[in-house]
Amino acid sequence: MFLLIYLLILVGNLTLVTLIRTDYQLHNPMYFFISNLALLDVGYTTIITSSILITLVSSRKVILFPLCALQFFFLCIALSCECYLLGVMAYDRFMAICNPLRYTVIMSKRFCMLLVLGSYLVGCVNAIVQTMFIFRLSFCDSNVINHFFCDVPPILKLSCSDTHITNIVHFTCTAVVVTPTILIILISYIYIVVAILRINSAKGQLKAFSTCASHLTAITIFYRTGSFMYLRPSSKYPIDQDKIISLFYTLVIPMLNPLIYSLRNKEVKEAFMRMLHSKIYSP
């Protein structure tokens, strides 16, 4: 099951990236951010799923302590970057709908690259701080992780140190990543809704809203799952429930994202048909 999901993630996201990179009509900021999001999904699911698959098929179910820290580090970078990319995409939609005449000037290629690089920079800083605080704890009792991979709740449950400060740092870092992006998304969509309501024709309103529908769906799924997992006291829910939720945001969401951005997007579907047509009828 894990292997099948991973293959679907690879096929879906890499197909989406290939479409965006090869089809000239998809060479705009929105699809540039979507392609980065797809590559990010492939990257961190590879780190997580490879570990899960090795654990499932191996008789010696062991992960070395440095590899556990490295796995958590890259997962933290990926989730932080995904938050900021979703915020950046909301700002992109705001500029496209509310400032269409200035859109191509403001959302230049250089500015889009800086936004993506900034997302990775924030993700790296967040990952360094959290990894340092979590893996400096003492683990002197059980060394069995009751989880599929090295995530915050199961690691903290293993520690025999006082985790109060680490919990505060983890919650603060998560809030620092999530809060600004949620504010950017909310403010952007308030302006977008106001701008759409000012459009006289119902057809124009529907067209404007359709450009945001995929992004809104992805935001809702990602933030509801992530906030339920990380923005709460670690003792509030049992670890078995945490395992199911963590699998959802590490495997199910990356599998759904290509479908969300393709099935609900006319331009992507048309680009896919053009690619198929060129492959079938090419010399």
pLDDT score of 58: 79
pLDDT score of 235 more than 60: no
End-to-end CA distance of the chain: 39
Q: Is the pLDDT of residue 79 over 80?
A: yes
Q: Provide the 3-class DSSP secondary structure of residue 219.
A: helix
The pLDDT value given to residue 110: 92
What pLDDT band is residue 91 in, cutting at 50, 70 and 90? very high
Write the DSSP string, 153-212.
HHHHHH--S--HHHHHHHHHHHHHHHHHHHHHHHHHHHHHHHHHHT-SSHHHHHHHHHHH
pLDDT tens digits for range 157-168: 888 888 888 888
Domain 2-271 has CATH 1.20.1070.10: yes
Phi-psi bin for 277: left (phi > 0), alpha (psi -120 to 50), beta? alpha
Q: What is the pLDDT of residue 120?
A: 92
247 pLDDT higher than 70 = yes
Distance between CA atoms of 67 and 51, rounded to whole angstroms?
10
Q: Who contacts 106 (Cβ-Cβ below 8 Å, separation ≥6)? A: 95, 99
Residue pLDDT, tens place only, 215-229: 788 888 777 766 666
Lowest mean pLDDT across 1-15, 69-83, 133-147: 133-147
60 pLDDT more than 70: yes
Query: Structural domain boundaries of the chain?
Result: 2-271
- Radius of gyration for the chain, computed over Cα atoms and rounded to the nearest angstrom: 21
The pTM score is 0.84
pLDDT 10s digits, 99-157? 888 888 889 989 999 999 999 999 999 999 999 998 888 887 778 887 888 888 788 88
Q: Which pLDDT belongs to residue 154?
A: 81
Neighbours of 259 (CB within 10 A): 14
Distance CA 42, CA 37 (A): 9
d(C-alpha 21, C-alpha 36), whole Å: 11
Nearest to 47 by CA among 177, 170, 149, 154: 149
Alpha-carbon separation of residue 106 from 13, 70, 257 (angstroms)? 28, 37, 27
- The predicted pLDDT at position 118 comes to 92
> Percent of the chain at pLDDT above 70?
89
Q: What's the full length of the chain, in residues?
A: 283
Closest among 72, 11, 22 to 47, alpha carbons compared: 72
Residue 90: burial class (beta carbons within 10 Å; 0-12, 13-18, 19+): buried
User: Which residue pairs from 191-196 have beta carbons closer than 8 angstroms and sit at least 24 positions apart in sequence?
Assistant: 191/94, 191/98, 192/93, 192/94, 192/97, 192/98, 195/97, 195/98, 196/97
Residues 214 and 262 sit within 8 Å (Cβ to Cβ): no
- Is 85 a residue whose pLDDT tops 80? yes
